[in-house]
Chains A and B, each alone.
Chain A
Amino acid sequence: MPSFAIRMDGLTRDFDGLRAVDQVSLEVPKGHIFGFLGPNAAGKTTTIRLLLGLLEPSAGRAEVLGFDTRMEADAIRQRSGALLEHTGLYERLTAEDNLEFHGRIYRMPAAERKSRIQDLLTGIELWDRRREPVGKWSRGMKQKLAVARALLPRPELIFLDEPTAGLDPIAAAALREDLVSLASKDGVTLFLTTHNLSEAEKICTLVGVIRRGVLLAVGSPAELRSRRKGQQVEIVGRGASESLLAELRSLPGVRAVDDQDGRLRIDLETGAEIAPLVSRVVAAGMQVEEVHRGAESLEEAFLAMVREAGEEGQA
């Protein structure tokens, strides 16, 4: 049995001369939560469609749970669940009927189906509303139900396209907990796309950054953060003048200085000293309240990666 849930090897997909996915190669080990990050139209949804065998690659190949996406797509869909771009719920049907239909599709025995539906609907606090047509529900409620539907047949691998979109913070946090528990306790592999980078940082064990179909980086969130060279420092206080900002920008080791309402964000070269910089700021008359040595967040690393890739593309 392969130890990876997903393996892509030069996976490519063209649409009428436009390359949506460009020679993507990566492996997602089983039991991991993989976050696929990228701006709009980066190729995330196309990649999910390719992995589910809903589209054929123009070049390259992919294996999901050991099955070839081109030749054995039925076996992949048998073992995986998906919440795609839209919830895909039947709005005329009740919540219970939507789950019942999905349970029947996956040939769950009637008794197991019934108890699993009750467990899932109770878990997302929708059991009392199970007989309502879902068309009348809010987006958040539909999203919760769609996630429950993907989990219903206990698949080995789940594709989730923006799973917490439309959820309130409490529901989003609860879902994140459930997803982490699914991966850690049940060994389920999750492949999710999200625009919420702090969410990806919290729950993903592995992330990939894609832009215009090209995979820019893959690694754990910590690895991606550390890949960026340099360091940051944030100085909070009052009295930062334009001349101070200009002086700081001219110092050796300083890459950029940005003033955001009394918060000076300073990008430094690796190894640049911070203490002399703070002394210079104090000497210039700024009343310093706080100094933070910045660890770059995944969001910052992501934005920088996408920006740099854009600049390289233009050059």
Chain B
Amino acid sequence: MTADIATVLWKEWKEILLFRSRAGRLGNALSMIMLLAVFGIYLPLQSGPEWVTSPLMLAAWAWVPYLLIVGVIADSFAGERERHTLESLLATRLPDRAILIGKIVAATSYGWGVAVASLVLSLITINIAYGSGGLLIFPTPTLLAILGLSLLISTLASSLGVLVSLRASSLQQAQQRLSMSSLILFVLPIFTLQVLPETIVTSLARAAAGADLTTIYAAVGIVLLVLDSALIFAATARFQRARMILD
């Protein structure tokens, strides 16, 4: 199974990096460079030493992999179906799970890889600009949270994208639905906070203020883990060869 996943990963990585066309390839490279420049150079320079001390910076890292992954993941199944490569892929000996997991891992590793590269670049930038002898680095819990939570967010974007792509009849439909799902995903917590009774919101805020950062990171991590598992389970249930052929 691992070798089969690696095979799918090999192909997916090639396709992600080569992307659809010369224009697409350029667009893909530009978005990667832009993200590296913004999160690795511009924002650290603007924030100063606070970049490595403020826990709020964590929120910025959530966006890096998400933005990258939603740009490519809609193509995973809907694109293959549209370009008539899906049936040939399904006619091979590759197990269902290897195809599905390979595609999720490919997109996740792409988004998370660029996030980690941005993180390293931001640390280099901040130390060059503000280091003055000492090493500026995130506190260990924050660093672990950035790495862990960005990985979970990458998995969330990939598994959500794969599920949407599996259900879509065309690449365009997959892209539209993924944009809509992403919007709901980000707007829903804000909307929920607004509709909740004020007493509950106040007690939640109190609990958050009273809790230490590690507990908050762990709680967010658990929520993401549950969401990731649910989405991967839904995608696995949806991925049936016969259904894929007939859709």
Contact = CB atoms under 8 A, between A and B. Distances in A.
B241 A74 contact: no
On chain A, which size bracket covers the interface? 20 to 34
Nearest to A90: B85
B184 interface: no
A107 B92 CA distance: 12
B80 to A, nearest CB: 9
On chain B, which size bracket covers the interface? 20 to 34
A122 to B, nearest CB: 23
A32 to B, nearest CB: 21
Nearest to A100: B10
Contacts, number: 72
A55 B242 contact: yes
B226 interface: no
B136 interface: no
A84 interface: yes
Residue among A49, A53, A93, A105 with most chain B CB within 10 A: A105
Interface in A90-145: 90-93, 97, 101-102, 104-107, 133
B19 A92 contact: yes
Contacts of A91: 83
A88 B85 contact: yes
Chain B binding surface, main DSSP class? helix
A105 B14 contact: no
A91 B22 CA distance: 12
Contact of A74 (B87, B93, B242): B93
Contacts of A90: 11, 15, 85
A84 B93 contact: no
Contacts of A53: 241
Nearest to A76: B93
Contacts of B3: 107
Nearest to B18: A92
A86 B85 CA distance: 8
A86 B15 CA distance: 19
Given A49-B245, A74-B95, A89 B85 contact: yes
Contacts of B11: 90, 93, 101
Contact of B93 (A15, A88, A93, A105): A105
Nearest to B19: A92
A84 B89 CA distance: 11
Interface string B73-93: 000000000011101111111
